[in-house]
Structure 1
Amino acid sequence: MKRILAAGLVLAGLTAPLAAEEMKQLNFGIISTESSTGLAKSFEPMLKDLEKAVGVPVKAYFAQDYAGVIEGMRFKKVDLAWYGNKSAMEAVDRADGEVFVQTTKPDGTKGYYSLIIANVDNNAVNNLKDVVDCSKGLTFGNGDPNSTSGNLVPSYYVFALNKIEPNSCYKRVVVSNHEGNALAVANKQVDIATNNTESMDRLKQLRPDDAAKIKEVWRSPLIPSDPLVWRADLPDDMKAKIYTFFLTYGRLGPEEEVARQRAVLAKTSDGWGVFVPSSNAQLYPIRQLELFKTRVKTQNDDKLSADEKAAKLKEIDAQLADLDQKMKTTPAM
């Protein structure tokens, strides 16, 4: 554990002299996967423990959508945040964010799956073939544009690869968070919707009757577990306190305290295990997926001339090659 902490601190650039700046408060951003009331209750115990560890008040920061938390970090209203991989990528690119740890599940797994779900009574939709059949006149619940599992992953694997544009394929498209999409399917307000295995696990715990009305009709390849991201310009001494807290939480200390912290993590969000070190390299597969999606759309764009298409594809392929090289040479955390 000490070796993990030391290596992580070096990777995170925490060996510089401590900053003289003193922070009066730490704002923790939480993406809107469900109602802010439910999320606040879920995160409160862990944030109280973080507050004790860093020595300043820690306040939860909510916004109506993922972009609101990203913009909050950009304008320094958010100091660190829980993101999905796609929104973390946006925070890194647009808000000077930096991935520093990754969540895990209580069993130690570091991944989850995007889903397309339908109501159990909907016999017209049972598999991917039914999902991409535009003749069915289905209604569709899409996820937040900055959601990895609710938007990015299905937009490539379900729609781009099958040459489908949801707005033209489906009778009606609405956008909501994971909880909203799940309840819309359960209540037969939409035929199909995006979701993920973590959100469905949480729904089974909180609203088992609604969860029982939902069936899975498509599952993605494994997605890396969510990262935590801090502002790169936070004082080094504050980074060190934050990093030490997350890497030791549920790991080090008296046996009873470790057990209590593990219990807190198990009730945070959809149910977490201990944190593991991470970096912006965690986002490489997500960047790759974004480029693949763009490449497929470009390849299928009939409005481009042959020369324009060739030039765009060449540029995308160069970016993919560069990203592939980075993935091969970046050491695993």
Structure 2
Amino acid sequence: MLNSTLKQWTSRLALPLVSASLLAGCSSGPAATDGDAESAASTGETCAPELAEIDFGIISTESQDNLRPKWEPFLDAMEAELGRPVNAFYATDYAGVIEAMGAGKIQLAWYGGKSYIEAAERSQAEAFAQTVNSDGTKGYYSHLITNVDNPIVQEIDLEAGNGDQYVLDNASELTFAFNDPNSTSGFLVPSYYVFAKNGVDPNQAFNELIFAGSHEATAQAVANNQVDVATNNSESLVNVETSDPTAREQIQVIWTSPEIPSDPLAYRSDLPDCFKAEVQDFFYSYDDEAVLGPLEWQGFDPAGDEDWNTIRELEIGKSILEVQNNADLSATEKEQQIEALNQKLEALE
């Protein structure tokens, strides 16, 4: 999880020296609900009868064909517990889930850290739970990957995992793929640690740069030698090993990030408190291994919006570095923009 290293910078205008400990953090519980849930239960009334059915958003980490068999049993269990239909909403990109919640087309969603903070800012998303991995941890890792037969592999110390430096030194000769611009591990984390901290603009650095979409897409692009290097993450590679072991054998990890907090579950903040309480009860107590196993989870812990403040800090830190490294800005312009960004950091304290 992430901590508050960015808030501890001793020089606001000097190039920040942000350590790998940026990605370590804490967890706190969600905001307490009022007495609506207890009142509804005590009188025997149905909570939020206007919510005849629930639409649940699922970010596009994989194709819908791969996501559906993993998610449908879980949504069926939620439907049985909540006593009303729960429909899956599979978007073609992360933005689709963000926009759908903002438009009121979905009431709950599974997000990544970056997509959640976007949804919290403009789509009334409110985090209430955090996924717990099958091994009991609450974190995962961003990776840079290449094909095992790519000559890059021979130029990298795989044990040291210094593929990021090779990518920086040889970017002009390489093709590179991010997955989605709203992805934490597929865009934000490598953008900060690999590029922004080193003063490199990936839009200008590579022979070719693309956004492939899902983690599954970047894995397949590398496995099929369609790009030299791509972003991915530790959870996705486990999924690839299960769904397409031949492709996984063709993938070599060349860089690993510090730990990233595991994913938030969120509902719209304007939902009735009694319904929020029912949703929380379901998630906090659900532990069916047969259903959660394919999702690589063992359960869910209580969490709140502030548990992803450190993702916000990472986003701001990336922006500060980009301003500092922007040769088109004057010293005065840099100072003004960095001050505004530092005010955002301070507001998170």
Q: Give TM-score scaled by structure 1 length.
A: 0.88
The residue that corresponds to 1:233 in the other structure is 270
**Which structure 2 segments of 5+ residues have no match?**
1-27, 41-46, 157-162
Could you tell which deviates more after superposition, 80-89 or 307-316?
A: 307-316
Q: CA–CA distance in 2 between the matches of 1:97 and 1:124?
A: 42
For residue 255 of structure 2, the aligned residue among 188, 211, 218 is: 218
Per the alignment, do residues 93 and 200 of structure 1 end up closer, same or farther by CA in structure 2, a change over 3 Å counting? same
Relative to structure 2, which stretch is displaced further, 161-170 or 84-93? 161-170
**1:237 deviation in Å?**
2.1
SS in 2 for 1:161: helix
Query: Match for residue 192 of structure 1?
Result: 229
Identify the match of residue 300 of structure 2 among 248, 267, 275.
275
Question: Separation in 2 of the partners of 1:273 and 1:287?
Answer: 27
> Aligned equivalents of 1:70 and 1:37: distance in 2?
21
* Count of aligned residue pairs for this structure pair: 305
d(CA) in 2 for partners of 1:8 and 1:219? Answer: 29
Q: Which amino acid aligns with 2:309?
A: Y
Matched to 1:186, the amino acid is A
Q: Provide, for residues 138-175 of structure 1, a one-character-per-residue CA deviation record: whole Å limited to 9, x for no partner.
A: 00111211000000001100111111122211111121
Query: Structure 1 residues 47, 262: CA separation in 2 closer, same or farther (over 3 Å shift)?
Result: same
Work out the CA distance in 1 between the residues paired with 2:343 and 2:271.
34
Match of 2:198 in 1: 162
8 Å CA contact 2:82–2:279 kept in 1: the answer is yes
Q: How far apart in 2 are the matches of 1:234 and 1:240?
A: 10
1:54 aligns to 2:79 (yes or no): no
Task: Give 1:308's match in structure 2, choosing from 324, 330, 333.
Answer: 333
Q: Hey, what's the Cα distance between the residues in 1 that align with 2:169 and 2:34?
A: 52
Higher RCO structure (Cα 8 Å, ≥6 apart) = 2
Q: Residues of 2 paired with 1:312 and 1:282: CA distance?
A: 26
1:98 and 1:279 in contact (8 A); partners too: yes
Question: For residues 84 and 168 of structure 1, what CA distance do their matches in structure 2 show?
Answer: 27
- Distance in 2 (alpha carbons) for counterparts of 1:20 and 1:73: 18
> How far apart are the structure 2 equivalents of 1:135 and 1:243?
46
Cα shift at 1:315 = 2.0
The 3 A distance-change label for structure 1 pair 221 and 316 is same
Aligned to 1:22: 50
1:132 is paired with a residue whose SS is: helix
Which residue number corresponds to residue 87 of structure 1?
A: 115
**2:96 counterpart of 1:68:** yes
8 A contact 1:21–1:235 mirrored in 2: no
Listed one character per residue, the Cα deviations across residues 99-139 of structure 1 (whole Å, up to 9, x for unaligned) are 00000111210000001000111122531111112455100
